[in-house]
Structure formats: C-alpha cells, structure tokens
Chains A and B, each alone.
Chain A
Amino acid sequence: MLVNNFLILKKQFFNHLHAAVRLVVLLSSLLLAFPLSAQLEPGGARAEAMSGAYVALANTADALFVNPAGLTRAPANSITLFYQRPFGLTDLNYGALSGNFSILSLQAGFGAVSLTSPLFSEQTFVGALAHNFRNRLHYGIAASFWRTSIQGYGSSGSLSLDLGLLFPVSHDITFGMSAHNLNRASRGSDPLPQRINSGFSFKTSQRLILNFEIHKETKFDPEMRYGVELLPFKALAIRAGTANNPRRFSAGFGFSFKNVNIDYAFLTHNELGVTHKFSLTFSFKKRILQIEKSDPFKPETDAPHQLYLGGKHGILVPININTAWVDQLTELPGIGKRSAEYIIAYRKQHGSFVNKADLQNVKTIGSAVYEKIELLITINDKPE
C-alpha cells in the first residue's frame, strides 16, 4: 500500500517535472525570439495598429494600461475590450477589459488583463486615477496587481505602480510620458519589467494624426515607434505603424457607429507569425455635442468618431473674445501671436465685439480662420 502510494507520488512528480520542463522550453523559446512582456502590451487594437505609439495620443479607456493620464481624455463612462491570439499560437490567449468613469473631479479607470496558456496564466488587475490640471497638464497613476500561476506550482502576486503625464503643448501637438513599475515589483524572484515611454502626437488636421514614441525597457535596447491614423470618413479610421526593436509593421482599421467602435489590427514580425487583435469599445454616455462651460472638468463627450480625434485638450471652454488676452487667444487654432495682438488692438479701437462674425474684420482673420474657431468663441460668458 505504501509502496503503491510512493509509486503514484513518484509518477506525479515526474509528470510535474515534465510539465515544468515543457513550460521552461516554451517560455524560453518565446523569450529568446520575442520578449514576452515587451511584445504583449495591453492596449486596444487602435494602439496595436500603430505599433504601440500611443503614449501621447492615449484618449480611450485602454489608456489605463499605456498612459494613465489619458483617462482624462477618454469619453466618459466607456468600456474597451480586446482579444488577441499572439503570433498565431493557438495555445496562447490574451485579452483585456478596461473601463473609465468620473469620480468627484477625477477620472478613474479599472481594468483586467488575462494571458493564458495550458501551463501558465497571468491575470492583472489595474486601478487608475487621473486628473486634469487646469487643462494644461494631465497626470495619472495606476496600480496593477499581477497574479501569476504555473500549473501545479501555485501562484504568486505582486503590485506595481505606474505614472503617466500628458501635456498639450499647443492645439495640435501633445506630449506624453509614462513610466511603468516604478516600485520595481517582481513576480516571485523574476523582476517585472520597468518601462518608460515618451513621445509626441501631432494632429495635423481633423483627419490625420501622427504619433511618435521612444520606448525603453530595462534590459532591452531602446525602441522607436511610429504610428499614423487617417480618417477618410467620419466613421472609418485607417491606421499603420512600425517600430524598430524588434522590427515590425502593423496596420489596422476601425469602424464607429452610434456608441460603439470596433477595431482590428494585425502585427507582423520577422521570426514569429502574424498577430491579430480585435477590440470593442462601448460608450455609455449619450451623445452630447454641446460644450458645457459650467463644469470645466467634464471631459468632452462627442460623437463616437470623436473618440479617435479626441477633441482638443480634453476640455473646451469657449473663449470670450471680448475679455481674452493674448495667451488665451493663441490657444485657438489658426490664431497666432500676431493675430491675437491684432484682435486686442481692434478691441481697443472699436470697443467690444457685438457679433462673433465681426471678428473677420480684424486684420489677418478671414473667413477660413473664422470657420475654424466659430464654435470655440463667444462674445459673452453665456454658453452657446
């Protein structure tokens, strides 16, 4: 009886040993060819389609994973889901869910990521808070709880902290930075990666956004990422991206209708196969096109296609052309220092503006510029 038990135990032990060996082989083959954590980044298909160049653009709920500060620019109360089968490996499944909502005057986000394989699975639960400081600086922190389990060996947990920043330099250039795992957490004895992402996003027009990012993870060489998003129609977005370490190319598209966005991306890699990623975004707030001046901390909630365009700096307050000074006037698109000074000179000479359209009488401000800013200005402090 005892001998039998012993033999069973011995068999179980060897089974576990073989499983562990297979796991090690699987993981090391992945690690050798393709660093696991560096390539599986939680983020929707929109970020993936641009090869991850998302830190300065981050304006959807999945910004939680990439740059927590981006939550202040996401449409209020939305949920994003993504699913990915990395490298076409049928054994690996990677998916996540994230959502955001407002609390007091802050934006909060929650998320869960899951990576599963027959022997190894990891779940990450993320909570984040973000604040928009006077429309000038957006910052956020996120805390992630990692739960790793290897079959037969139990599981371990660890907590890591992330920090993110977003700074809209001008109406068309935004700077973003995020640093991950500041507290150097590790899963067991294996340290979790520490990363910093830093980059710019250029909104060259209403329909085209260019993103650039430098990504540095400890133990790896720095990586440069480029991404572009084009909106040929209001409801359709086409994206592409590339990065250099490891070299890869990605592309994707997205549809939006009513309150739903569907995105798809594929990523090619030299050695491993193609990755397909799908994501879905629901926005629960009704379409509100009006800009509410009374609550300057409420993020702009526009039609779903605006999810891509992200609005301006997340919050718009109509600028009163009768009381604004140069600083505020130059924030308007198409108005530079010279035009702003002309506006003020005109005001001094002719008194306050009676109609918004009178602005076109100011030197250097013609109908083209006026069209751009018509919705963003007011002649008194009442909302439109």
Chain B
Amino acid sequence: MFTRKPLSAFLVAVSFIFVPLSTRTFAQASRENLMEEQAESSEQSVLMDRLFKAVNLNAAKKQDLLELPGITRDLAEKIIAYRVKIGFYKDPEQLLAIDGVTDLIFGDIVEFIYAKQMPEVQPVLSKFSLRTRISNKVKFRAEPLKTYNRMRFQLLGLVDGGFLAEKDVGEKRFDDLRLFYLEFKKQKLHGIVGNYLLEFGQGLGMWGPYGFSKSAEATFALRKKGKGIGKYQSVDENAGLFGGAFAYRLSHFSLYAFSSRNQLDATPGTDDSVEGISTNTVHIDSADFERKNNLTETLLGARVELSRNQTFKLGITAHTYAFDKVIANSNLERNRFNFRGANNHIFASDWSYTREDFRIFGEIARSKSGGLAFINGVSFKQKRVKMAFLYRDYSRDFHNLHGFGFGDSNGATRNERGYYSGLAIQLSDDTTIKSYFDIFSSHWRSFSEPLPPSGDDFSLQIEHFFNRNLQLTARLKSKLKPDLAINPGQPPHDNKDIIQKRRSLLRIQFDMRVSNQVKLRSRVEKIYLHSSDLTGSSGHKQEEGFLIYQDLKCRPTKWFQLTGRITFFKTDSFGSRVFQFENDLPGVLTNRMLYGDGAHFYLLATCRFPFGLAFHTKYSESVSRQKQISTQRNKKMSVQIDFKLE
C-alpha cells in the first residue's frame, strides 16, 4: 500500500507540526490510545498508576486534578472552589454536586480519587482495600477458574502493605503466585521490603516489567518518569525483585540501595545449567513444575541522584546480579550475542533537564559484556505545537534482565537502533492532529529473523469535534517489519525465507455523547497486510481484515454502570487479524485479537454500594469461522468484588 521513499519524504515535510491536545480530551484519549499498544499480559493497573496517581481530593492542587481522565481546567477549578466552600471533602461522591461533573466523568475518575482528611491521631489501620476476581473460561474442564486476590492497607499512616495471591487457569493452588510488600515513607526515608520494583532514569539501567513505548498519542509518555522504589503486585511471575530497597534524601541528593534474592522459572538444560528464563510461567503439568523456581537470582545495587528544583536531574546506577546456575543459550548462530554465563553487572547514567518549553532527557548504560545502550530525547512545546525526537541505540551485546527501554520491541533493551519523531498539533479548538514516524533497525539477527531486520512505523491520528455531541477520530498507521516465512522443518538461513510485511490500519471512529448518562461509540477499521519476499521473485500477497463495532456506555444512576459492545469482523487470515481494546474489570487490560469471520459481544456491569463496596462483572461471547473449516466459540465470564475503606 505504501512504499518507503515517498512516505519518508511526506513525513519529513509534515513532521514540523506538533500540537498539544485540548485538555478537555487529552487525558481521556490517552488512556485508550496508550493501552491499545500493550500486549494483553501487561497489567493495566500498573500502567494506570504511571499515568494517573491516586489523588486526595483534600490535598490536590489544580495540576494534580488535571491529570485525571476527563477533567478539564474548568472542572478542576470548580472542584477546588467547591472544596473551599464546604471546607473539605468527606466523600468523593460529593463531586457529583458540582455542575459539570457528570456521572460518566465521575465513573472515569472514581478509581483514582479519595477524600482523606488529615486526622489528629493516625488510626492504626487505614486505607484498607480488598480485591477478589474470579474468571471462568468456559472451555477448560480441569481447574477452569482463574483467581486473583489482593489486599492493601496502611498502618499508623506510615507503613503501606499488601498481599497478593493469584492462580492461572489450570493451576491447582489458589496462591500459586504469592506476593507481599511493606513500604515505609516519611520525609527523607523511603524503604520497601518484600516484592518490589525499581524505576530509574529512562529504563536502560533498571526498570520494572511494564512501560509505554509508541502509541497514537505521539508525544505522550515518551520520557519515562521513574518512580524510584515501588511495590510489585503484578502477576508476571518472573519479573519484579524480592528483598529490600531503601532511599534516603539529603538536600539535593538521593541515595538508593537495594538487594534482592528471587527465584525464577527457567527451562533446565544439560549438566547444571538452564537453557533460558521462561516466558511461560503457568504451572500445570510436571514439565512446568520442573521449571518452577528453578533458578535463583541474587541482585545488589546502588544509585546516586542529584536533582535541582524540578528542572535538572542526574543519576548514576550500578547493580550486579548472579544466578546459581549458568544460562547456556543453545549454540545457534542467532544466539551468538545472547547473554551467557552466570552473572552480569550494569553501570548506567541518566540525565534530564526540563524547562517550560523544552526538555532533554537520556540515559547510557553498559553491561558486563561491554555492550552499550544509549537513548536521548528532546521535546519542544509551544502553545499549539508539541514536538519530540528520540534517538536510541542498543548494541547487540548489551544485556540487562531488568531494563525496559523505549523501542519497537516493547520491553527489550537490546539489539535495536532507531530514530523517532513525534508531533502533535492543535489546529483549532475542535481539531487536533497527532503523528509519529519511527525508523528502526537491528544490529544482529534475532530469534525470528536470519538477517538483521529493519523497518519503519508511521502513525497519524486526527481528532475532530463536530459539536459537543459528536467526535470523529481517524487513524492511519502503517508499519513495515520483516518477518520469517513459515518453512517448517528447515532452519531459516536464506534470503528467500524473509518476507517484507507491511501492515496498515485505517480506522474511523465516532464518539457520540447522547446525554450525561449515555455515550455511544462506532468504529470501523480496515487492515491491509502486504507481504512480499526480499528477492521479489515469488510475488506479492495482500490479506485484509475488517472490523466494525458499536459500543454503548450508560450510567443511569451513580450506583450502576453498564457497558456493552457488539463487534463484527472478517479477516482473510491470522496475519491480517484485528485488535480491539475492551473495557474490562478495573485492573484488567484486554486487547482482544479477532480473526476469521464472525461476531463478538460483551457486557460489563458495575454496581457501587455504600461503605466502599463495588461489584463488577463481565460476560463475553464470540463465534468465528476460520477458513470454512471450523467454528470456534468462546465464552468467558468474570466477577470482581472491590472493597475499600479509608
């Protein structure tokens, strides 16, 4: 559909416009735009914590309120004015009395707000919350339930703590995965014991398992804002650290020290080695149990950070980790630069300088093998234009188990080089354009490609308000990335086996506001997958995919909310599959993949009761026919109970 040269020329011409979105829609748009680029295993709650911190209505400044989804400048001012009027908020629901805070807006922010007064005497137990979730995939016979149980609390106003017990479908014990943490935070000292994660700099040296990279928002969430020490309550069994971490703030300096001793799942190899760390962490059969907790990792590290006001920050991190077994990594050509051995140490340095209209940030890191990873970005902001440029270069022999760098492959900080430019322009009060262009390549072949792949990625999104009730979002995305031809039985080593794949997406979406209680959305999406081999000899192939869905969201009273969607889809093949980001239970991220020919629907209901109790349930059903042969039916039901006590 697109060829490279005219596209690059066009993009260079266009890439000088950046526009910040109108605050009215900005925060609301970004949540879904950012989430739809995430893999389904990501934890929405963790990502949401990055975007939207919990806000205490009684202590919030206007800036804090603006960060909540759907809150405009006008609303933030009203919320603060109302607080002055009534003294202090006793209950977040008092917000509904403010003119302009509709039920739907309230529903979008309710998870992130609370109203806490500063009591004279700290109660022993406060901020207590419980979450239980049970899902049932109506297909599995043995152990069809997936359960999630989480508890959080605060003691004496100083110490936060939490427990988590999770079980996947097919696993026997409800606490197959167990996590806990205790966190202490006072003015200068911050410490955590238990399962925790660390986020420093731009993610090359040390970061947790989740983060944002490219998204339709183009200029949002490019610069990572590491939160330093944080709790780990995600269900990825092989990520996170277990031990203790402490931070001490001394005038302009912050000092961190951390250590961890964690057990990971790893596939056993010959002698006393392991093949590699598992990506599959489900424990059902005996082979799974052989992998479980097979490898012990011991980690130790420290960090020094210098920061002046909110403008300048410089940090140096050093850490080392060692395994009790050697990681072998089979001796294949493609693995030549992979990590091998039993230990690694990382030195990293990060910087960031912020001014009102200009920002520069970056990090450089080196691993034991001598490999270097580097990233640097600049962003410019004017009244209606916002621009960002990022350059990254991660060498092929840079290894870091605990990094998450910005890149095309989400998460990996290895073997990639790329130039990214992003742009957002606010053409008028009603129209906004967001666009990015990324050119990337690899230094060495990877797991799936016999030659170092290179590609590009372009996205353009136009948002326009026809009137208060109708918003149009049009999106165009095109990504070229080589892939491997499926050639069973033969190891790929030939040019003939590489396919150039260009996947393009065209989406038209209408968001309609019927009333303060009811919203509709209609989306039509078309996918084109164009494949051709490198030598061009065996011709081209074009596969298409199509999706149309209708969403309804209504909140007739503040106690009850109902969301429903009907989707019809048709794709020529698995390659041209379509994705849809779905609303789900709080904390669950669902990016559903649909392929074949069929229809899907889901219903999501939320009931809020007094005393901090909320009940959520979701039912979804899909039918699809693949290639005239089989019909797949999928039904899924899940229930979640949330209890929160301030």
Contacts and interface: CB of A to CB of B under 8 A. Distances in A.
A196 interface: yes
B467 interface: yes
Interface string B547-568: 0101010000000000000101
A179 interface: yes
A165 interface: yes
A175 B467 CA distance: 14
Nearest to B628: A219
Interface stretch (A13-21, A144-152, A166-174, A275-283): A166-174
B152 interface: no
Residue of A137, A194, A221 with most chain B CB atoms under a 10 A cut-off:
A137
Nearest to B598: A218
B599 A134 contact: no
Interface stretch (B208-216, B377-385, B453-461, B516-524): B516-524
Nearest to A176: B522
B470 A198 contact: no
A218 B597 contact: yes
Contacts of A222: 546, 548, 570
A177 interface: yes
Contacts of B466: 169-170, 173
B512 interface: yes
A221 B623 CA distance: 17
Nearest to B623: A184
B522 A198 contact: yes
Given A182-B566, A218-B599, A222-B546, A170 B470 contact: yes
Contacts of B469: 169-170
A177 B546 contact: no
Contacts of B518: 133, 136-137
A169 B546 contact: no
A169 B512 contact: yes
A312 interface: no
Q: How large is the interface on B (under 10, 10 to 19, 20 to 34, 35 or more residues)?
A: 20 to 34
A216 B548 contact: yes
B598 A198 contact: no
Interface in A102-135: 133-134
Interface string B594-624: 0001110100000000000000000000010
A133 B515 CA distance: 10
B570 A175 contact: no
Nearest to B624: A218
B625 interface: yes
B597 A175 contact: no
Contacts of A196: 548, 550, 566, 568, 599
B512 A167 contact: yes
A357 B599 CA distance: 55
Contacts of A214: 524, 548
Contacts of B520: 137, 165, 167, 175
B7 interface: no
Chain B interface mostly: strand
Interface in B500-522: 510, 512, 514-515, 518, 520, 522
Contacts of B566: 163, 179, 182, 196
Interface in A168-203: 169-170, 173, 175, 177, 179, 182, 184, 194, 196, 198
Contacts of B601: 182
Interface residues of A, number: 26
A184 B631 CA distance: 13
B531 to A, nearest CB: 20
Contact of A198 (B548, B599, B625): B548
B521 to A, nearest CB: 10
Nearest to B523: A198
B568 A194 contact: yes
A179 B570 contact: no
Contacts of A170: 466-467, 469-470
Interface in B510-543: 510, 512, 514-515, 518, 520, 522, 524
B568 A216 contact: yes
A241 B312 CA distance: 64
B568 to A, nearest CB: 5
B94 to A, nearest CB: 24
Given A194-B568, A218-B599, A175 B625 contact: no
A330 to B, nearest CB: 8
Nearest to B564: A163
Contacts of A221: 546, 570
B515 A136 contact: yes
Contacts of A163: 566
A174 B509 CA distance: 15
A26 B11 CA distance: 55
A177 B597 CA distance: 20
A137 B514 contact: yes
B515 A137 contact: yes
Contacts of B515: 133-134, 136-137
A46 B599 CA distance: 29
A129 B470 CA distance: 27
Nearest to A194: B599
A179 B549 CA distance: 10
B562 to A, nearest CB: 13
Interface string B464-483: 00110110000000000000
Contacts of A167: 512, 514, 520
B544 to A, nearest CB: 9
A106 B568 CA distance: 29
B576 to A, nearest CB: 13
Contacts of A330: 467
A241 B467 CA distance: 28
Contact of B522 (A134, A177, A182, A184): A177
Which of B514, B515, B625 has the most chain A CB atoms inside 10 A of its CB?
B514
Nearest to A181: B599
Given A134-B515, A165-B520, A214-B548, 16 more contacts: A133-B514, A137-B514, A169-B470, A169-B512, A170-B466, A170-B467, A175-B512, A194-B599, A196-B550, A196-B566, A196-B599, A198-B550, A218-B570, A218-B597, A219-B597, A222-B570
12 contacts: A133-B515, A169-B467, A170-B469, A173-B470, A196-B550, A198-B548, A214-B524, A216-B546, A218-B568, A218-B597, A218-B598, A219-B597
Interface of B: 466-467, 469-470, 510, 512, 514-515, 518, 520, 522, 524, 546, 548, 550, 552, 566, 568, 570, 597-599, 601, 623, 625
Interface of A: 133-134, 136-137, 163, 165, 167, 169-170, 173, 175, 177, 179, 182, 184, 194, 196, 198, 214, 216, 218-222, 330
* 10 closest residue pairs by CB, A with B: A216-B568, A137-B514, A169-B470, A196-B568, A136-B514, A177-B550, A179-B566, A136-B515, A216-B548, A222-B546
